[in-house]
Amino acid sequence: MDYPSVPQGQLIYAIGDIHGRSDLLALLLDKIAADAAQGKEAKRRTLIFLGDYIDRGHDSRRVVDMLLGALPQGFDAHFLKGNHEAIMLDFLDDPSFLGQWLANGADATFRSYG
């Protein structure tokens, strides 16, 4: 089996399913920064966030705040929309989606925003 390769001089970190766990996100970002520091020859460092930032965990608000401004220096960042963000956007367009969002952990997100 041939595995995809990363171009020389590039580090890519893919992060998925944070689900409101700002504590674990902070720990992971610290580990990524430490790992990247060991690869000093890397000319490009990229974080790819795979969605599902909100819901279920206790601190979706802080997760969003961290993603908007507390990422390690020297990284490009790309953000994909997960199904939890898609359900939230569905609700914002049509309140009848509230039940579906609540079934997927929206109550934790609501609590994190007060």
- 87 pLDDT higher than 80: yes
CB 89 within 8 A of CB 41: no
- 29 pLDDT higher than 90: yes
Tokens read off for 58: 């206790």
- State the average pLDDT for the chain: 94
Percent of the chain at pLDDT exceeding 70: 98
What backbone torsions phi and psi does residue 42 show, to the nearest 5 degrees?
-70, 125
pLDDT at 38: 87
What is the fold of 11-112? Purple Acid Phosphatase; chain A, domain 2 (3.60.21)
Percent of the chain at pLDDT exceeding 90: 80
Whole-number Å distance between alpha carbons of 75 and 71: 8
pTM of the full structure: 0.90
**6 falls in which pLDDT band (50, 70, 90)?**
confident
